[in-house]
Structure 1
């Protein structure tokens, strides 16, 4: 098995080309993964390729009838409409377990994007702030300063001081290395506690992404998840609040 393996599910790759790619792999709060998985489902995206790698964790996944399968990331295609261009999605199970592996996999993804005619990449992820955020900001990092005004107009925050420490993993590498392949790149990171899977932050990222790409999809499922999370967090917060004196029992 090679370090990076690509299996195509379509005979005519050129028929599934798109100028835009959107990547959302597992990460902090699964913010980007939730957005991309939601859009793949809501837009009935077609699977065009599968990527397996010895750089992924050695964790096999259970399929139907408890049959094990390799960890994988997948490429999906959605045709264009009158409002927007065709779109490629990168989604999947995991990222690399090593620093070198992140670079090797990023180059593998970019080679696939090259074959599919991608000219702009959006990477989606989370920015862990260590506390619950009711109204998350969406921070952005760019492949070029020429993209700044467009991103600001879409509602994201562009700051050289955030995210603190930069961006680790595919969300940062695809934007940075993509520039060497002649691709523009925009990273969108939703603020999140970092403790929970966070559909609230994902919804904020989706808001900005929609303005940038003109993608429109039924977001009922994602909204329902966000409302459920807020309800559960409120319940946990109420349970943790100190009881009043009337509620305290005297033991003695």
Structure 2
């Protein structure tokens, strides 16, 4: 098993737009995509499992274990179908990331996916008070479509390579003639910092262009809850990463 896409729900999906938001710098993508899932009451249709995910389980608030998993949800807004790719992890190495992205694109092509949107962060040395959002795409028409006074397109020289799923999906989608765009919001580059302001800035753009009818005031009100949930997962992942580099058995995990 490289990546297993387990179907867990049914939905009629035609010509969807895929929106990806997985953990990364400032967790900008995760915060934004999770908020869309919750706001639209999206339905889970796939769970993705793999031997290429971290070799551990998470302990949830019910004191039960959960395997590392990435989920795909479905929602419909004003006749437009959306697929939302969310989760608490990313593939652990370069080859796995390529295989995962190809697997995702294989799946969404079955539904005649017409567009891919990815969300990530740009790490800064200081906390931005008013984060700017940059974009890049595999098709200039996508940049034109999402034009906004708050969106910067002069990204060359601002960032280096876009690492991980948020970058690869855009590049690999282009090989399949699927138009794709990446939104990258400024955020503080510390691993424990949550880029909620950056996520909000991206959501404002998507809310306008996709007519999602999101109540962003609700995001402001739920900041405390979001921080608690994500920081708990960050601590668990950091413990896993530290543990995997040691051969001795530590007392804070079993395995």
- TM-score, normalised relative to structure 1: 0.82
How far has the Cα of 1:59 moved from its partner?
2.6
Question: RMSD between aligned alpha carbons?
Answer: 2.1
Contact 1:4–1:108 (Cα < 8 Å) also in 2: yes
How far apart, in 2, do the equivalents of 1:26 and 1:162 lie?
Answer: 24
Contact 2:138–2:171 (Cα < 8 Å) also in 1: yes
Contact 2:148–2:205 (Cα < 8 Å) also in 1: no
**Paired position in structure 2 for 1:175:** 170
How far apart, in 2, do the equivalents of 1:117 and 1:32 lie?
Answer: 24
Q: Is the aligned partner of 1:20 residue 2:17?
A: yes
After superposition, residues 167-246 of structure 1 pair within 5 angstroms as: 167-195=162-190, 196-225=193-222
> Which consecutive unaligned segments of at least 5 residues does structure 1 have?
230-252
How far apart, in 2, do the equivalents of 1:67 and 1:153 lie?
Answer: 44
Contact 2:134–2:155 (Cα < 8 Å) also in 1: no
**Paired position in structure 1 for 2:150:** 155
- Residues 211 and 9 (structure 1 numbering): CA distance in 2 closer, same or farther, change over 3 Å? same
Deviating runs (4+, > 4 A) in structure 1? 225-229
**Paired position in structure 2 for 1:120:** 115
Three-state SS of the structure 1 residue aligned to 2:212 is: coil
Three-state SS of the structure 1 residue aligned to 2:29 is: helix
Contact 1:140–1:151 (Cα < 8 Å) also in 2: no
How far has the Cα of 1:228 moved from its partner?
10
How far has the Cα of 1:144 moved from its partner?
1.2
**In the comparison of the two structures, how many residue pairs are matched?**
224
- TM-score, normalised relative to structure 2: 0.81
- Residues 135 and 107 (structure 1 numbering): CA distance in 2 closer, same or farther, change over 3 Å? same
How far apart, in 2, do the equivalents of 1:156 and 1:56 lie?
Answer: 34
Three-state SS of the structure 2 residue aligned to 1:176 is: helix
- Residues 226 and 204 (structure 1 numbering): CA distance in 2 closer, same or farther, change over 3 Å? farther
**Paired position in structure 2 for 1:250:** none
Three-state SS of the structure 2 residue aligned to 1:71 is: coil
Larger radius of gyration between Structure 1 and Structure 2: 1
> Which consecutive unaligned segments of at least 5 residues does structure 2 have?
227-255
- Residues 112 and 154 (structure 1 numbering): CA distance in 2 closer, same or farther, change over 3 Å? farther
How far apart, in 1, do the equivalents of 2:168 and 2:17 lie?
Answer: 17
Contact 2:37–2:73 (Cα < 8 Å) also in 1: yes
**Paired position in structure 2 for 1:5:** 4
- Residues 10 and 168 (structure 1 numbering): CA distance in 2 closer, same or farther, change over 3 Å? same
**Paired position in structure 1 for 2:250:** none
- Residues 64 and 183 (structure 1 numbering): CA distance in 2 closer, same or farther, change over 3 Å? same
Q: Is the aligned partner of 1:70 residue 2:67?
A: yes
How far apart, in 2, do the equivalents of 1:130 and 1:111 lie?
Answer: 38
Contact 1:107–1:177 (Cα < 8 Å) also in 2: yes
**Paired position in structure 1 for 2:95:** 100
Contact 1:28–1:128 (Cα < 8 Å) also in 2: yes
How far has the Cα of 1:179 moved from its partner?
1.2
Contact 1:18–1:88 (Cα < 8 Å) also in 2: no
